């Protein structure tokens, strides 16, 4: 039986917070992708992806992050990732995401990371 999945988006201050609940795989990644695209289309480029309820992520889900990060940064924003459990964090670490994204414990700390200099800006 497939894992239930939901994605919700909230506007908080000058941030879009996208909350993932369940498993992001080849079947559910398009829903995640649509949520990110809608936020960008609405002019929001400071994006926090809250993964506190994320139970699994496949390469298709990881691809959503990579598919938007350049566009968001070119527009002066960024994508911050928060709330990853140790289990779900493994694929991110294996693929080197910690060199490209800030990982934060929660939404509030992720918001605080906006405006801080990043290591990848020099290489970007």
Expressed as residue numbers, the domain containing 13 is 5-103
Contact 57, 88 (CB under 8 A): yes
Q: Is residue 124 part of a domain?
A: no
Could you tell me what percent of the chain has a pLDDT over 70? Answer: 91
Q: Is residue 34 part of a domain?
A: yes
Q: Is residue 108 part of a domain?
A: no
Write the CATH number for 89. 3.30.750.24
Contact 55, 3 (CB under 8 A): yes
Condensed to tens digits (0 to 9), the pLDDT of residues 13-59 reads: 899 999 999 999 999 999 999 999 999 999 999 999 999 999 999 99
Any idea how long the chain is? Answer: 124
Q: Is residue 115 part of a domain?
A: no
Condensed to tens digits (0 to 9), the pLDDT of residues 23-32 reads: 999 999 999 9
How many structural domains does the chain have?
Answer: 1
Question: Considering the entire predicted model, what is its pTM?
Answer: 0.92
């Amino acid at each position: 039986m497939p894992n239930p999945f939901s994605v919700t988006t909230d506007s908080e201050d000058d941030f879009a917070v996208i909350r993932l609940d369940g498993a992001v795989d080849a079947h559910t990644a398009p829903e995640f992708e649509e949520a990110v695209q809608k936020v960008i289309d609405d002019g929001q480029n400071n994006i926090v992806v809250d993964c506190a309820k994320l139970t699994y992520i496949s390469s298709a889900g990881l691809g959503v992050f990579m598919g938007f990060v350049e566009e968001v940064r070119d527009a002066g924003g960024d994508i911050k990732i928060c709330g990853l459990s140790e289990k779900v964090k493994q694929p991110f670490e294996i693929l080197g995401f910690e060199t490209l994204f800030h990982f934060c414990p929660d939404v509030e700390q992720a918001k605080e990371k906006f405006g801080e200099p990043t290591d990848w800006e020099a290489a970007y």
